[in-house]
Amino acid sequence: MSILVNKNTRLLVQGITGREGLFHTEQMAAYGTNIVAGVTPGKGGAWVLGGKVPVFDSVRMAREATGANTSVIFVPSRFAADAIFEAADAGIELIIAITEGVPVQDMMRVRNYLDQKNVRLVGPNCPGILTPGEAKVGIIPGNIAIPGNVGVVSRSGTLTYEVLYALKNLDMGVSTCVGIGGDPVNGTNFIDTLRLFEVDSQTEKVVLIGEIGGSDEEEAATFIASQMSKPVAAFIAGQTAPPGKRMGHAGAIVQGGTGLAEDKIRALEEVGVKVAKHPEEIPSLL
């Protein structure tokens, strides 16, 4: 198995004719991902990827014509909330928003709306999902991971690539890598992903990559203690980050004494999670 995306994924790309959208559509297709449609309002009727992928004006039209079940979003931040609402209302089951810089009030509206529906959102401000050998949805480089039994979940981008690469160098493969994104309000969180890994038959162990800000890692620790049977190793970035400053990611900020790396590390270690001192140490902890 694997989680969230696989060879049965029928992918739709929102913002497919934009520079980023088109570039990554080519990359995803080259990896073997089944891309069935694209959406750019006003460009319906066009074709991309040498005439292989049809472009539609709306997600509803694209889904009805192609049976797309998953959408990846590359639209600019000011249009991202609208794109997510559109995908959810059109019946897309899994929405992966790569877009960075979405206003946080937009995301609060999105989250509270999606929570009333049967839709899963991953992101925004995330690198997407990679199930090695099956599907790449988003921007994670396909060549840095091989299929295997390690599940990876992370709030970061390139830091995740580091870890995938370190695993690959030791011939350790990955079941699925999920980038949940670095925003303060997002869709799928650590617990949601851990729950999926726990019941996935391919995944035997899990790597969790967190960072400063919020309390998702602490909540994950509680979940691990009570509901995870599979071993988890972790790394938390930002031990040297000064309080009150946003470290690149909108969500990576220590505020009013909460969100500290040391608190997250302690919470995880207390429930038996091995926490790496630096990312290259992770494979040896598995």
Partner 1 sequence: MKLHEYISKRIFAEYGVAIPKGEVATTPTEAKQIAEDLGGRVVVKAQILVGGRGKAGGIHLAESPAEATEHAFDILGMEIKGLPVRKVLIDEAADIKSEIYLGITNDRAARKPVMMASASGGVDIEEVAQKTPEKIIKVHIDPLMGLQNYQARDLAAGIDLPRDLWRGFGKIACGLWKVYLESDATLAEINPLVITAENRLLAVDGKMVLDDNALFRHPDLAEMRDLDLEEEAEIKARENGLSYIKLDGDIGCMVNGAGLAMTTMDIIKLFGGEPANFLDIGGGASAKKVASALRIILSDPSVKAVLFNIFGGITRCDLVAQGILDALKGIDTEVPMVVRLVGTNAKEGRQLLANAEMETAETLADAARKAVAAAVPA
Nearest to 147 by CA among 105, 182, 175, 110: 175
The single residue among 15, 54, 182, 283 that binds partner 1, judged by CB under 8 A, is 182
AA letter at 137: V
DSSP string, 136-147: EEES--GGG--E
**Annotation marks residue 249 as catalytic:** yes
> What Cα–Cα distance (Å) separates residue 53 from each residue in 25, 75, 85, 135, 278?
10, 18, 23, 17, 42
Rg over CA atoms, the chain: 18
User: Measured from the CB of residue 188, what is the shortest distance to partner 1 in angstroms?
Assistant: 13
Interface with partner 1, residue 266, by CB under 8 A: no
Which residues 232-261 are close enough to bind partner 1 by CB under 8 A? 235, 237-242, 245, 247-252, 256, 261
The single residue among 143, 222, 227, 284 that binds partner 1, judged by CB under 8 A, is 143
Q: How far apart are CA 168 and CA 212, in angstroms?
A: 26
Interface with partner 1, residue 97, by CB under 8 A: no
Antiparallel, parallel or unpaired: β 53-56 and 11-14: unpaired
CB 176 within 8 A of CB 204: no
Give the active site residue among 63, 168, 249, 264.
249
Interface with partner 1, residue 133, by CB under 8 A: no
Interface with partner 1, residue 34, by CB under 8 A: no
Interface with partner 1, residue 148, by CB under 8 A: no
Residues of this chain that interact with partner 1 (CB under 8 A) are 27, 77-78, 101-109, 111-113, 139-141, 143-144, 154-162, 165, 182, 184-185, 209, 211-212, 214-215, 235, 237-242, 245, 247-252, 256, 261, 277-280
Write out the catalytic residue numbers.
Answer: 249
